[in-house]
């Protein structure tokens, strides 16, 4: 069956007339059925750790839209939670963590191979999905890349410019490198267990890679990704990895070759034609419709879907957004996007 799954075909380098489609954050707040299930769970973190309900919200967009892949419902900050940081979510504001900014803070974290008991519900979510997904639907696992997760651990929350992490990197490089190293090893362990539980593809989300420049991009975006993919390929040689160094700009060029990624996901700050010329020549690309089209819809959405499909049509491509769908998106526009891609 793996050979017939459209997503896996593209990741294997096949060029398909109609590319596979899935959508970042496709299980989420734009769907009324998600909001009802989250209310049942009580709060966001409880939903992540409730295997049955997490599987249910993962399946909801598959039932409604028929995406070619399902990405398990979880959060990139579950690794620091499992490492021993305190994690909670403030309604309307997002995540909060106890900060890791001193050697004493770092000393309280557990080792990378001690996270699995805490994360057992995530692995169970994958096992449920493996049983319940349609046979043609690929199952994606994921983690946050070390730099992005570190920015939250150091600041205790999301920040507009990741300044606390940049400051710690400059002022205490030994501690910063230790945090990155612990996260790199934990991510290897976490994704490997996800694959053992049923994930057919895994994705690394480096949402704040764009704030790293020059040697910092190489050292803290590219190199941890390379280490993670190398370790995963040694254990699971046939499982493809999608890398998403968001807003990397020219850093996208050669990223797949340098890291071993099977696909590079693109944000919508780069043009499809630029990506064809600079990236798709050597690797599958994923993307990159602007998420705002899921809010505004109409003919501009139709035109952009067709333009992206045509531009990427000569090489391996996975259709997706350039970032996650937003809570104010209209589900009807998602349906229009899929219908246009497949039938337009």
Q: What is the set of active-site residues? A: 25, 29, 38, 75, 152
End-to-end CA distance of the chain: 27
Judge whether 225 and 261 are in contact, CB under 8 Å.
yes
CA distance 337 to 332: 9
Judge whether 165 and 207 are in contact, CB under 8 Å.
no
Peptide bond into 288 cis (omega under 30): yes
User: Could you tell me the two tokens for 83?
Assistant: 């490492």
195-218 burial, b for 16+ CB within 10 Å, e for fewer?
bebbbbbbbbbbbbbbbbeeeebe
Q: Is the torsion defined by CA of 219, 224, 225, 229 positive or negative?
A: positive
Judge whether 159 and 94 are in contact, CB under 8 Å.
no
């Amino acid at each position: 069956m793996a050979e017939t799954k459209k997503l896996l075909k593209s990741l294997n380098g096949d060029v398909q007339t109609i590319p596979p489609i899935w959508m970042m954050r496709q299980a989420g707040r734009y769907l009324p059925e998600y909001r009802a299930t989250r209310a049942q769970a009580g709060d966001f973190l409880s939903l992540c750790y409730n295997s049955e309900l997490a599987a249910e919200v993962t399946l909801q967009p598959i039932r409604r839209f028929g995406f070619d892949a399902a990405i398990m419902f979880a959060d990139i900050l579950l690794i620091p939670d499992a490492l021993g940081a305190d994690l909670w979510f403030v309604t309307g504001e997002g995540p909060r963590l106890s900060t890791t900014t001193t050697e004493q803070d770092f000393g309280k974290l557990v080792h990378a191979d001690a996270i699995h008991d805490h994360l057992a519900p995530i692995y169970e979510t994958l096992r449920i999905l493996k049983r319940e997904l349609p046979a043609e639907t690929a199952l994606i696992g994921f983690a946050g890349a070390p730099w992005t997760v570190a920015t939250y651990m150091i600041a205790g929350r999301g920040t507009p410019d990741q300044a606390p992490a940049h400051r710690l990197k400059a002022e205490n490089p030994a501690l910063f490198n230790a945090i990155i190293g612990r996260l790199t090893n934990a991510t290897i362990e976490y994704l490997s267990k996800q694959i053992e539980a049923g994930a057919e593809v895994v994705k690394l989300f480096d949402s704040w890679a764009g704030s790293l420049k020059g040697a910092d991009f190489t050292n803290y975006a590219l190199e941890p990704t390379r280490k993670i993919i190398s370790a995963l390929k040694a254990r699971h040689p046939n499982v493809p990895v999608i890398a998403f160094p968001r807003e990397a700009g020219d850093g996208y060029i050669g990223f797949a070759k340098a890291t071993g990624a099977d696909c590079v996901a693109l944000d919508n700050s780069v043009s499809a034609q630029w990506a064809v010329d600079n990236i798709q020549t050597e690797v599958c690309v994923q993307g990159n419709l602007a998420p705002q089209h899921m809010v505004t819809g109409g003919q501009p959405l139709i035109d952009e879907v067709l333009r992206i499909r045509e531009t990427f049509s000569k090489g391996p491509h996975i259709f997706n957004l350039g970032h996650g769908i937003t809570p104010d998106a209209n589900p009807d526009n998602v349906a229009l996007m899929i219908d246009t891609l497949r039938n337009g």
